[in-house]
Amino acid sequence: MKTPDTSWWRNGEGDESKSSASPSLMAVLATVLAVSIVFYWFRRVKNEARLLPPGPEGCRCSEIARTYGPVVSLRLGGRLCVLLSSPHAVKEALKDQDAIFANHDAPAASLFSPYGGKNMLYAPYGPQWRILRKVTVRQLLNPATIDGLSVPRQAEIRRMVEEIRGKAGQPVNLRELISAAAMNMTTEMLWGGSLAQRGDDRDALGGSSVRRWKTCLARPAGPGEEDAKNGLIDRLHLQFSHRGAVDDDGGLSGRRPGGGRGHEKQDFLQVMLDLVQNPDPQAPITMDHMKALLLDLVTGGTDTTSTTLEWAMAELLYDPERMKTAKEEIVTVVGVGNAVEETLRLHPAVPLLVPHRPSSTCTVAGYKIPEGTKVFINVWAIHRDPRVWEDASEFKPERFLREAGGADYSGNTFRYLPFGAGRRICPGISLGEGIVASPDLNEKFGIVMRKEKTLVAVPTLRIPQNI
């Protein structure tokens, strides 16, 4: 077989036009092609970048909104993140495009956490999330159930106040006490048990360990955090077995209706166990879903309420006049309502909300927000924006007096968002309110507190011990 003669381009022999013009033509074409590709790519990237919101290379979160405006893009590691910092931008996202923004952005670490993202907080918007949320709101977080459980809540507050009273004159770590009380109120509602009743040591399940456990979800756990997380899970399992809910091998055991609280009515744990045993074929609830949900409720209901109470006490201790007004309000009205509402404005427990993740590419305030972006709602900046609030950085509970329109927790004003807004708004608003605005946190029990540091306070008896 005759092989084609290719020597013309190897050794310069043969047809003259082939030997000199063709290689240079090829080189020119290749160069033009390469330049065109680079040019096209560069223009596309530039155009894409022009569609994205402006943003800093690196900056303090609190200053970003002031410097760059209400829609800002950031790179956190490899992730594109967007920060929305005006009521208008938040409305466009969480109301006008609520279905697109209905997913929370689950941190990668949450998938490796004990129940692997099966909780309500990080469940993708869909049938499983819907059933978890529906059963929680219908069976637990509705006003009637919450009202019905006010007696054990009051008892817990009274127990805490008694403990403070017993330490009159000594520095008291209020954070620890408030965290444990909030934890007890929540677990009492879920399965009718508390740390004190069990004699469990507070440190194992108390506020600090919950806080550390929550941090684990944001990043891979360090050695101490792993222990804290496991400690909490162990305690949860202990609660199940105390109540006879789970066999030693982790399977379900039959629990008597009434859930051990001694009431006719089933408690929430029993409702959930029934749901696991008789699953909805469209969205079956497993033991893992149930445990993940209970953990959600323990952590979601504890940290937020105790942080809010701690800030409210700190603000009141800082300003004795305000403390006096708050006490009068407690006596004449019911609870520390306005002080709590103002605390939730100045110190929102979840200042950037739980990040949302748009399920498709969309536009907010004229900027493109690509699908999968991590979107933070900058509640902290909105709550302190002088264009939105008069005397924005001052603690003024009177701004929420009923005559002034009161506080609106529904998330529909988009200027006041302590519980979020849209489809993922906090389902625990009534309970959260019930815990933080507990009317018995008052001097009826004989306490005034002088602020020492953050929230280590020194209680002083105003009424003698024997009364």
Relative to beta strand 447-451, strand 367-369 is unpaired
Q: Measured from the CB atom, is 92 or 296 closer to ligand HEM? A: 296
Asked if residue 239 lies in contact with residue 194, where contact means CB atoms within 8 angstroms, the answer is no
Residue 118 in contact with ligand HEM, rule: CB under 6 A = no
Residue 335 in contact with ligand HEM, rule: CB under 6 A = no
Residue 104 in contact with ligand HEM, rule: CB under 6 A = yes
Range in contact with ligand HEM (rule: CB under 6 A) among 48-56, 74-82, 365-373, 429-437: 429-437
Residue 97 in contact with ligand HEM, rule: CB under 6 A = no
If one counts every other C-beta atom within 10 angstroms of the C-beta of residue 309, the result is 27
Q: Closest distance between ligand HEM and the C-beta of residue 124, in Å?
A: 10
Measuring CA to CA, which residue among 336, 379, 286 is closest to residue 85?
A: 379
What is the rounded CA–CA span in Å between residue 37 and residue 54?
26
Measuring CA to CA, which residue among 76, 43, 44, 42 is closest to residue 57?
A: 76
Query: Which element (helix H / strand E) includes 310?
Result: helix 287-318
Q: Measured from the CB atom, is 94 or 216 closer to ligand HEM? A: 94
Counting residues that bind ligand HEM (by CB under 6 A) gives 28
Binder of ligand HEM out of 181, 232, 272, 431 (CB under 6 A): 431
Residue 428 in contact with ligand HEM, rule: CB under 6 A = yes
Q: Closest distance between ligand HEM and the C-beta of residue 146, in Å?
A: 9
Burial class (CB in 10 A: 0-12, 13-18, 19+), 91: buried
Q: Which residues contact 160 (CB under 8 A, 6 or more apart)?
A: 177, 178, 180, 181
Q: Closest distance between ligand HEM and the C-beta of residue 42, in Å?
A: 38
Residue 133 in contact with ligand HEM, rule: CB under 6 A = yes
What is the rounded CA–CA span in Å between residue 101 and residue 197?
42
Residue 301 in contact with ligand HEM, rule: CB under 6 A = yes
Task: Report DSSP letters for 60-98, one per residue.
Answer: -HHHHHHHH-SEEEEEETTEEEEEE-SHHHHHIIIIITT
Residue 120 in contact with ligand HEM, rule: CB under 6 A = yes
Task: Report DSSP letters for 398-420, one per residue.
Answer: GGG-GGGT---TTS-SSS--TT-
Q: Closest distance between ligand HEM and the C-beta of residue 370, in Å?
A: 20
426 is in an annotated binding site: yes
Q: Measured from the CB atom, is 418 or 446 closer to ligand HEM? A: 418
Q: Measured from the CB atom, is 349 or 449 closer to ligand HEM? A: 349
Residue 207 in contact with ligand HEM, rule: CB under 6 A = no
Find the Cα–Cα–Cα–Cα dihedral 110, 111, 114, 115, rounded to 10°: 110
Asked if residue 215 lies in contact with residue 225, where contact means CB atoms within 8 angstroms, the answer is yes
Start-end of H helices in 243-286? 268-277
Q: Closest distance between ligand HEM and the C-beta of residue 396, in Å?
A: 19
Q: Closest distance between ligand HEM and the C-beta of residue 281, in Å?
A: 23
Residue 236 in contact with ligand HEM, rule: CB under 6 A = no
Q: Closest distance between ligand HEM and the C-beta of residue 416, in Å?
A: 12
Q: Which residues contact 205 (CB under 8 A, 6 or more apart)?
A: 183, 195, 231, 232, 235
Range in contact with ligand HEM (rule: CB under 6 A) among 260-268, 283-291, 304-312, 330-338: 304-312
Asked if residue 374 lies in contact with residue 93, where contact means CB atoms within 8 angstroms, the answer is no
Q: Give the x-and-dash track for 350-389 against ligand HEM (CB under 6 A).
A: x--xx-----------------------------------
Q: Closest distance between ligand HEM and the C-beta of residue 308, in Å?
A: 4
Q: Which residue is listed with tokens 């002031």? A: 66
Residue 235 in contact with ligand HEM, rule: CB under 6 A = no
Q: Closest distance between ligand HEM and the C-beta of residue 354, in Å?
A: 4
Residue 457 in contact with ligand HEM, rule: CB under 6 A = no
- Distances in Å between the alpha carbon of 415 and those of 69, 91, 288, 340, 383? 16, 10, 37, 17, 7
Q: Measured from the CB atom, is 87 or 428 closer to ligand HEM? A: 428
What amino acid is encoded at 449 in this protein?
M
Residue 243 in contact with ligand HEM, rule: CB under 6 A = no
Residues flagged as binding site: 426
Residues that bind ligand HEM (CB under 6 A): 104, 120-121, 133, 186, 296-297, 300-301, 304-305, 308, 349-350, 353-354, 418-421, 424-428, 431-432, 436
Residues flagged as binding site for heme: 426
